[in-house]
Amino acid sequence: MTSQTAPATALETAYLGGGCFWCTEAVYARVKGVVQVESGYTGGHQPDPTYEQVCAGGTGHAEVVKLQFDPSVIGFRDLLEIFFTIHDPTTLNRQGNDVGTQYRSVIFYQSPQQEATARQVIAQMAGVWDAPIVTELAPASAYYPAEPYHQDYFTQHPLQSYCAFVVAPKVAKFKSTYAYRLKS
C-alpha cells in the first residue's frame, strides 16, 4: 500500500519596494506563509548593479524584497496590505531620511492577476491615507540579489543605529498590527 500525501502548493513570488530593503525584509521575514525573503534590486537599466551604484541613483533600480510565499497560507492581497502598513506610500522617491528613486514605493507584478490585485489594494488604500498614493506599479523585470552582507541585516545587526531607530519600529508596528500573521 502506498501512502498518499496532498500535493505541495506551488510557491508564488512578489517583488516589493518600500524604502530601504532592510526594513521591508525584516518585516516579511516574520510573516507566516512567507518562505523566503531576499533583498535585491530591480526596475533599472544596468545589469548586475552594486549597492553603491544603486545608491548613487543612476541605475534606475529600486531596493526591493523578493518574497517567496505559500498562497495557501497568505495571499498576495494580504502581503500588499502589510506593505501599505509598514511604509509611507505617499512620499515620492523617499522613506523618511532615505531619499532617491532607489527608495521609491513600488510593486513589480508577476502576472495580470497580481497587477489587478495591486490596483484594487491601491484604490482601497487611497481612502486610508491623507495624501495621494504614489506607489509605482510596474511589470517585473530583471532582478539582482543584493550583496550577501545585506541579507537578513536587521537580525544580524539589531543594535546598529539605523536598525534600532528605523527598522525596529517598523517591525514593532507589524507585530502589533498583524500579530495573527506572525510566524510561530
- Assign 94 to helix, strand or coil: strand
- Which residues touch 140 (CB under 8 Å, ≥6 apart)? 15, 42, 108, 109, 110
What is the C-alpha separation between 115 and 42, in angstroms, rounded? Answer: 17
In the chain, the amino acid numbered 56 is A
DSSP H helical segments within 57-180, as ranges? 76-86, 112-125, 153-156, 161-162, 168-177
- Assign 181 to helix, strand or coil: helix
Query: Is residue 140 a contact partner of residue 113, using CB atoms and an 8 Å limit?
Result: no
- Assign 37 to helix, strand or coil: strand
- Assign 4 to helix, strand or coil: coil
20 classed as catalytic? yes
Query: What percent of the residues of the chain are helix, what percent strand, and what percent coil, each to the nearest 5?
Result: 40, 25, 40
- Assign 69 to helix, strand or coil: strand
Catalytic residue set: 20
